[in-house]
């Protein structure tokens, strides 16, 4: 058995934080409600490692929820950011770096003919929905249960029953009138989408995580994305890919490259900021030309395209474009996947490991997960025990069953072997937990 984690400093910091920050954190998942115990406070990161305030060192499979695809404190990224910071943090005016990053993104995403940078994924989604409604002159949006698109009012909607259920607010403060314009359907269920279109003639768009990452990693079933493309085209609606997570993650050109589907509009974030706050949305010229100042659809942001975020993104995407980058990164994740398979065979654990590219999730469930309802039925108590067992062995995974793991290019073969060993031992420990 590994030694218990030292957490004295994390506990002290959490107690102090709760006096000043809501829940002691600035984003809910950080409160560790999904796994129990005291949140770990981190002081630094380097390469594949995170180091907490008590001096514990972990191989990081969270990567700040995706953007740190190169690992922590990558030298190339930091050097360009340092050079940029010396010239100023933000101008609130155009800078050459905005165009440079835009060109890089467009090379990877042929569906994006014009792009607008913003400061977060939530902001990108809110903006793209406004554009979709304006372009189609329709008002309803289809989303999928378990797909998270930021905390905008119309998207904080819980699922109802039936094939096409009008949404109900999933958070106090969201008027029912807002939520009623959102249809929340089961992920991977084309029949539900078809039924919705047959019932409502005012559907402006379907927004989807092409690979779901916010109910844990759930891949699209064969034909699901193609079916969405066909149904939206048939019904004069737009197809929106939320690739805030999957963009530059599952492939250089995101899920749309991986699955060969061309959406009308795309949202991006995470990786394109190289660890700095950034988001973006883009698509066909005739759609994007409706955004101000070219068109009447208003959207603005003081820090949009700020030079520091652009510099981090430029340096990151340049490295991602190197030959064999994704082959090597995917190989790392595949190595761990094979290790899980062997551990499951040995232990008989009712576990499934789902992976697309460098994103993955381990579910305590005996069958594959295809939608949010199935994800919710996985054994979260065993996942919580597994989380702490992994942490004790120096591997940091998401403190929630409903979040994806993210592999980084900084992980070495020795790191990967340690992760596989930790998974095998932690599965045994989790299976013994009540």
The CATH fold of domain 8-73+324-432: 3.90.1150
Which sign, positive or negative, has the C-alpha torsion 170, 176, 177, 181?
positive
**Which pLDDT belongs to residue 4?**
86
Structure tokens at 97: 């770096």
**Segment 361-370 long-range contacts (CB within 8 Å, at least 24 positions apart):** 361/216, 361/217, 361/218, 361/401, 361/403, 361/404, 361/405, 362/386, 362/397, 362/405, 362/423, 363/216, 363/401, 364/401, 364/430, 369/215, 369/216, 369/218, 370/187, 370/188, 370/218, 370/221
**Which pLDDT belongs to residue 172?**
76
Whose CA is closest to 369, among 381, 382, 379? 379
C-alpha distances out from residue 122 to 119, 128, 137, Å: 9, 10, 22
Catalytic annotation, residues? 148, 242, 270
CATH topology match: 8-73+324-432 vs 75-320: no
Half-sphere exposure of residue 242, counting CA atoms within 13 Å on the CB side? Answer: 27
Q: In order along the chain (434 residues), what is the average pLDDT of each group of 10 residues? A: 91 97 94 95 98 98 97 98 97 96 98 98 96 98 92 64 42 76 95 97 97 96 98 98 98 98 97 96 98 97 96 98 97 98 90 98 96 94 96 97 96 98 95 78
Sheet holding 352-356, edge to edge: 352-356, 359-363, 405-406
pTM of the predicted structure, to 2 decimals? 0.94
DSSP H stretches of helix in 322-379: 325-347, 372-376
**Which pLDDT belongs to residue 2?**
85
Name 96's Cβ contacts closer than 8 Å, sequence gap at least 6.
none
Q: Please give the DSSP secondary-structure letter assigned to residue 406.
A: E
Burial 370-407 (b: 16+ CB within 10 A, else e): bbbebbeebbbebbbbbbbbbbbbbbbbbbbbbbbbbb
**Which pLDDT belongs to residue 169?**
55
> What residue segments make up the domains of the chain, in order of their start?
8-73+324-432, 75-320
The CATH fold of domain 75-320: 3.40.640
Cβ-based neighbour number of residue 25 at 10 Å:
16
């Amino acid at each position: 058995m590994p030694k218990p984690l030292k957490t004295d400093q994390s506990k002290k910091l959490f107690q102090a934080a709760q006096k000043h920050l809501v829940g002691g954190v600035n984003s809910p998942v950080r409160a560790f409600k999904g796994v129990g115990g005291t949140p770990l406070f981190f002081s630094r990161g380097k390469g594949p490692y995170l180091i907490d305030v008590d001096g514990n060192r972990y191989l990081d499979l969270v990567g700040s929820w995706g953007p740190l695809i190169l690992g922590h404190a990558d030298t190339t990224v930091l050097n360009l950011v340092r050079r940029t910071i010396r010239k100023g943090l933000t101008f609130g005016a155009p800078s050459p770096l905005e165009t440079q990053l835009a060109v890089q993104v467009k090379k990877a995403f042929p569906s994006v003919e014009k792009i607008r940078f913003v400061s977060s994924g939530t902001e990108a989604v809110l903006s793209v929905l406004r554009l979709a409604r304006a372009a189609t002159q329709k008002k309803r949006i289809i989303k999928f249960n378990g797909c998270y698109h930021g905390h905008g009012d119309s998207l904080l909607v819980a699922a109802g029953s039936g094939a096409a259920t009008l949404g109900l607010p999933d958070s106090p403060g969201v008027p029912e009138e807002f939520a009623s314009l959102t249809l929340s359907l089961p992920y991977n269920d084309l029949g539900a989408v078809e039924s919705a279109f047959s019932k409502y003639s005012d559907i402006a768009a379907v927004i989807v995580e092409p690979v779901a990452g916010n109910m844990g990693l759930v891949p699209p079933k064969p034909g699901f994305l193609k079916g969405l493309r066909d149904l939206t085209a048939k019904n004069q609606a737009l197809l929106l890919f939320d690739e805030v997570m999957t963009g530059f993650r599952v492939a250089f050109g995101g899920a749309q490259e991986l699955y060969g589907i061309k959406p009308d509009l795309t949202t991006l974030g995470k990786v394109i900021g190289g660890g700095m706050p950034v988001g973006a949305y883009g698509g066909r010229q005739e759609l994007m030309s409706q955004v101000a100042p070219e068109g009447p659809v208003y959207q603005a942001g003081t820090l949009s395209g700020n030079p520091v975020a652009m510099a981090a993104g430029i340096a990151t995407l340049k490295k991602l474009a190197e030959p064999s980058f994704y082959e090597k990164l995917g190989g790392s994740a595949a190595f761990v996947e094979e290790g899980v398979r062997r551990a499951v065979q040995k232990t008989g654990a009712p576990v499934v490991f789902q992976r697309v590219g460098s994103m993955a999730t381990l579910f305590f469930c005996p069958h594959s997960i295809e939608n949010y309802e199935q994800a919710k039925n996985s054994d979260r108590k065993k996942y919580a025990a597994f989380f702490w067992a992994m942490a004790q062995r120096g591997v940091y995974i998401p403190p929630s069953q409903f979040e994806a793991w993210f592999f980084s290019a900084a992980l070495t073969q020795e790191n990967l072997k340690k992760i596989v060993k930790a998974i095998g031992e932690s599965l045994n420990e989790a299976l013994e937990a009540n």
